[in-house]
Amino acid sequence: MKSGFFCFIGVLALAAILPAGCGKPMYEDGVYTGRSGRDDTGAWGEVTITITGQRVTGCRFITRQKDGTIKDENYGKVNGEISNQDYYDKAQLAVRAMEHYAMMYRETGDLKKVDAIGGATIAFDQFTEAVELALKNAKK
């Protein structure tokens, strides 16, 4: 009888410390946005996430330069021209990484399963921060 009682108390204690739903947050269906803080150059990231039925069904991620210009195929050019190929290649790696981060998050629905790409870790940090803020807005 004593061991059954202690087992019952143990189960109650465990149930009290575990959050409902085994720790998985519940999200409202909808479209949510998040914006990262600025990096040392003044650039920031913006994410738009669509949630349907507790799943991420859409994700778009862009980063903006200090002046608000979207980092796209022109990012890394000077006056519309590639003046430094190495700089341009690094800038474009970051642009491709933005698309990759959004795609991986759409596919997995799990921020922990999105890996940073070497050479684009600032964009990854901005992505992570923006997603976390968007999800905070989506919680029920």
Render pLDDT for 4-63 as a digit per residue (tens, 0 to 9).
544 444 444 444 444 444 556 699 999 999 999 999 999 999 999 999 999 999 999 999
Domain-by-domain residue ranges, the chain? 26-138
Regarding the domain delimited by 26-138, which CATH topology (the fold level of the hierarchy) does it fall under? Sufe protein. Chain: A (3.90.1010)
DSSP 20: G
**pLDDT value for 10:** 45
Per-residue pLDDT of 90-133, as tens digits, reads 999 999 999 999 999 999 999 999 999 999 999 999 999 999 99
Q: Are 114 and 127 in contact (CB under 8 A)?
A: yes
Residue 73: partners with Cβ closer than 8 Å, 6 or more residues away: 92, 95
Beta partners for 32? 49
Q: Which of 46, 58, 49 is nearest to 139 (CA)?
A: 49
pTM comes to 0.80
The pLDDT of residue 3 is 53
Number of other residues whose CB lies within 10 A of the CB of residue 114? 21
